Chains A and B, each alone.
Chain A
């Protein structure tokens, strides 16, 4: 595979028509680590998010995937401005909100809402469902037509809860129902963008689809854009038109659904897809490639130099340690499919002549068995 580069193209929604609603450039968050005694001083930093570029178009759903600790939630919390970025720029509807003050943020804040992973801790246990859903409207001084109570009833119905549940408390609901309450609360301010951080991960398998379908209805019928954060690649594929793959604080590949799932170029995307355990329903033998990495993700306190994936990459060469690969449209990629890799893989997920097995224990056992 050649590593010839073509000029970077701007990222954007697949159809290219919609203007970006949100655009993030070089977004960075370093959490300082303090040590020392008796005087505490900064001894290092967790590079949780390190130069992330991302766009979300109007009404578009963009998925953000990657393994635990790679910075997905931090990215979501920066975008919703629950965290202050260390560097980089967040532009919402043409307006730079990276360091906007509370007051400056107020009009935008209602348009960007967040849904959290844990439907248990994200709802105030002492408030009734009605109060939980209406308080964002009260705080923001929003007076819906027909009054707040009527709007709450509409929202409850919309998310599939019985309006009679108005006076109940969160603990009286199941996980899936609580997540619906969270969705109703997020919708109460007519948002244009919802950052959903692992909205179904904590739910039972049999309940996940209920919530996924609800979010999909919200996205399609109300035209709300989503940044959908999840580690389940099948659910993200189902929900998102476009996708960004993160590894150790960086976006390593971004593209439309088909490019990422069927024509991936970054070795990490290949490894990630190949690790998904799939139910095979027909008699066809498995024809997907098999890649087994070694070890775990390195610590974001001391990320590897150059390409952060190089310590687990089978294609790594000297250049990978010294030069960080830029996120660009490498040769062979379709428009808007960007990959950060010096020596990318072929755009296919089909089985290889030989599996890639880097795990030393696995390799040893498999050699023995031969």
Chain B
């Protein structure tokens, strides 16, 4: 593998070498209503063999970020700025032909709704085998054998027979398994999973999540796992990025972020969510207000209209000055380190029951 040449300050959270490195990414769409700043200055790293979780509410820019990594945006309506370096190669400036070679080979994707990714007109088997033929030059027979092997691996019963089924003949859980088979068949270095289990039932979700984790052990791929569910993230990810309004507001290992969160938005997510072991007499603490508009994002800190801690910062910093997310572990918030710690321990943690 190639070694990355990196400048100072562009280091992965844990200090080891990043396989995917995104720097100051900005994605804008021009719409009838104006410019949508879907992603606004996002930086993160993904390490080989590790899982980066991205959480955030809908519209926070999770999907746009990852479609951008895959080069799937229409250049007519969108502009992309910043840097995406995958295994030493710059992707923002890459040609469509180069990107096509990457997709399905080095980088693969699993979507929330397998029906949008699978064509209804071709058999499941053919759709799994084709990218393998295209990227490895394998014969039709070899590709079929490999596809059947993959279907078996992801738990499709009687894979040789089911190879000839069409997507509508599969249940929701089986379709998601087929998507995983299709994504992994070329042994990708990076797998992007965008809410892969949101549409599934909870018992099926548990099966699929464990399956993905076990397969990662075997294939050694890096995974970007996108979800709005903190519970799912805590089971799947090593590192975690919390997104709000097109920006990363907190970053750290999953342990760090979930056990000692530093950003008021992360606090809000945790205290608004009931838990199976929680105290039912304790009322939930919702995040007030509504998610921000991306056409007219709030000034300063994008969370300030909903934040209960602006007075702790004092003055008008929260409304005027955009807080920066430090490299490595940290949160984009004007509260100082000690405030973040004491406020969490004294005011937030007791509510988490």
Contacts and interface: CB of A to CB of B under 8 A. Distances in A.
Chain A interface, DSSP helix/strand/loop, else mixed: helix
- Counting chain A CB atoms within 10 Å of each CB, the highest count among B154, B285, B287 belongs to B287
A233 B276 contact: yes
B234 A279 contact: yes
A205 B214 contact: no
Contact of A361 (B211, B230, B231, B232): B211
A27 to B, nearest CB: 23
Interface stretch (A18-26, A34-42, A121-129, A209-217): A209-217
A362 B211 contact: yes
B209 interface: yes
Given A209-B273, A277-B231, A278-B275, A366 B214 contact: yes
A275 B228 contact: no
B214 A278 contact: no
A274 B171 CA distance: 22
A303 to B, nearest CB: 15
Interface stretch (A47-55, A91-99, A112-120, A291-299): A291-299
A92 to B, nearest CB: 28
Taking residues whose C-beta sits less than 8 angstroms from the other chain, chain B's interface range is 35 or more
Given A209-B286, A280-B234, A281-B352, A293 B207 contact: yes
A369 B270 contact: no
Interface in A198-239: 204-210, 212-213, 216, 231, 233-235, 237-238
A275 to B, nearest CB: 4
B234 A278 contact: yes
A167 interface: no
A271 interface: yes
A154 interface: no
Nearest to B153: A361
B205 A275 contact: yes
Contacts of A278: 231, 234, 275-277
Interface size class of A (residues with CB under 8 A): 35 or more
B contact patch SS = helix
Contact of A234 (B177, B235, B276): B276
B315 to A, nearest CB: 26
Contacts of B258: 279-281
Contact of B207 (A204, A233, A273, A362): A362
Interface string B199-217: 0011111110111001101
A362 B172 CA distance: 18
Nearest to B280: A238
Nearest to B156: A361
A266 interface: no
Given A273-B276, A359-B210, 6 more contacts: A67-B204, A206-B272, A234-B278, A238-B284, A277-B231, A362-B214
Interface of B: 57-58, 152-155, 157, 171-174, 177, 201-207, 209-211, 214-215, 217-218, 228-232, 234-235, 258-259, 268-270, 272-278, 280, 283-288, 290-291, 352
